[in-house]
Amino acid sequence: MSENIKKIRVRFAPSPTGYLHIGGLRTALYNYLFARKNKGVFALRIEDTDQKRFVEGAVENLIKALSQTGLSWNEGVYEKSQISNLKSKTIAESKTYPGIIEAGEFGPYVQSERLELYKKYAEQLVADGKAYYCFCEPQRLEEMRERQQKEKRSPMYDRYCLNNVSPEQINEKLKENCSATIRLKVPKDEIIEFDDLVRGKISFNTNTIDDQVLFKSDGYPTYHLANVVDDHLMEITQVIRGEEWLPSTPKHILLYRAFGWQEPQFAHIPLLLNADKSKLSKRQGDVAVEDYIKKGYLKDAIVNFVVMLGWNPGEGSTQEIFSMEELIEKFELTKVHKAGAVFDIKKLDWINGQYIKKLSDEELLQNALPFFEQKEFFAKAAADKKTGEYLKKVLTIEKERLAKFADVGDENQFFFQDISYDKEMLRWKTNTDDEIVQSLQKSQTTLNAITENNWSLVEIEKNLLIAAGDKRGDLLWPLRMALTGAQKSPSPFECAWVLGKIEAIKRIENAIEMWQ
């Protein structure tokens, strides 16, 4: 990159309101990939100016979710000078927590620690004639909005304080500490036009833009002022954010111009939608990243799924599984769609299943064990059914059909507990009682002939198929039922292999006794 070209700097700037939304993860991911692709900086900023929505522990939840999904930032959340002010000891006491850096001129910020800075910039705009003080009380503003709505006009501030309060009155009110906000003086009859990196050329008429409050009477900036000031000071070159922020963009551009600052490029990525095309919300299912991690979705699968909610590699590519390195190489904002992206849980299940199949036996066990330990059937299982080697055999069979680790063992509880079933379930088609017993005895003899040392899936399948001959159903159906007590299960070869010789023979004998 030429020294004359400004270094790419992007940021993810969530509000600490509870958890990391799947949509938030996608925004973070697109910023991360764009930065990595262009050898730039991916910064993390906590936007906590709306103290009414602040949720205790939310910052930690956000950081944990990003870390769990493998998104690391070049610049951390807090400057070291701020660590003593943190509400959470978890981060403050951590000596190795990722993202804590030396305080610097363009370091990452927590907005609530920078209130005087925002006040200074808001007052600068007033001094330059680009903003003004507003002393209107909430009651007057409400009456004004109600009147405008009755007249079928868009609710907008009527500039009463700009047009009717003299400079002398302003100074007097400020001396008396009257409650006041600072509003942006939006120029009229102008067109704000910009090239969105996803949506192309977009324009707004300033007559549709309200005189936005920049600084509130409680001493906090609004999102608009803090966002623009911080993006400028952090030298952000591209603002990549959700489509819901598109109406705010002309307000931000007006602020950049009021300050005389170079505005960044903007990219607004599509909304995430439910299957019915409504906006993705918790009312119709889980939307927090942590919910999916708790259900046993792998972080790589979550990232792989989320990146494709609104993006694809293009050029007729049918590839659906990507490593992070491949995503960094292929990601381009020009390939992000304009239309909303439907969140399809079945697609996530399929992608997660693909990643599960690639895991080694040891990785399968490490991921699955915490979920096994939450199951009642596992807690009641015999000790020999809880060993690592036994669980690896169960997982070897389950991984081909497993969508997420929260489901481990659920459909195959017969591997962990005694079984019971109606003996009629052993009957294959029109087989007589004697034929059922003879079939079970043949399976018993066949499996008995396999030594413990040769007890392998290959050996079991080979010998049972030889014994079955042309009438596989006659042999294998009663055997499957005897081993599992379930009409749907893995193959009888797999079930026998997992259960082990002693347990498999025992269950066959129990089935035979049911007919005697």
CA distance 425 to 481: 7
pLDDT score of 284: 61
DSSP states of 335-394:
GB-SS-EE--HHHHHHHHHHHHHTS-HHHHHHHHHHHHTT-HHHHTS-GGGSSHHHHHHH
DSSP state of 99: T
pLDDT score of 47: 85
Q: How far apart are the first and last CA of the chain?
A: 83
CA distance 314 to 218: 49
Look at residue 417 and give its three-state secondary structure: coil
CA torsion angle 66 71 75 76 (round to 10):
20
Catalytic residue among 6, 120, 279, 282: 282
CA distance 372 to 207: 61
Strand 181-184 and strand 131-134: the pairing is antiparallel
Q: Could you tell me which of 409, 413, 384 has the C-alpha nearest to residue 398? A: 409
Domain map (residue ranges) of the chain: 115-269, 305-408, 423-513
Spell out, as residue ranges, where the chain has pLDDT lower than 50: 1-4, 77-108
pLDDT score of 82: 40
Residue 83 burial by Cβ neighbours in a 10 Å radius (0-12, 13-18, 19+): middle
Q: Fill in the amino acid letter for 42.
A: F
CATH class of 423-513: mainly alpha
pLDDT score of 203: 97
Per-residue tokens: 133: 């003080």
CA torsion angle 424 428 432 435 (round to 10):
-110
Report which secondary-structure segment, H or E, holds 126: helix 115-127
CA distance 454 to 231: 67
Average pLDDT score, the chain:
90
Residues 6+ apart with CB under 8 A from 74: 35, 41, 42, 43
pLDDT score of 112: 79
Kindly state the greatest CA–CA separation across the chain.
108
Domain 115-269 sits in CATH at 3.40.50.620
Look at residue 108 and give its three-state secondary structure: coil
Residues 6+ apart with CB under 8 A from 11: 31, 42, 43, 44, 45, 108, 231, 234, 236, 239
CA distances from 393 to 260, 399, 410, 453 (A): 66, 10, 15, 16
Q: Could you tell me which of 267, 246, 242, 247 has the C-alpha nearest to residue 340? A: 242
282 is annotated as an active-site residue: yes
pLDDT score of 103: 30
Domain 305-408 sits in CATH at 1.10.1160
CA distance 111 to 90: 20
pLDDT score of 114: 83
CA distance 507 to 226: 69
Per-residue tokens: 453: 């040392």
**In b/e form, how buried is each residue of 264-282, taking b as 16+ CB within 10 angstroms?**
bebbbbbbbbbeeeeebee
Residues 6+ apart with CB under 8 A from 408: 296, 368, 371, 372, 375, 394, 395, 398, 402
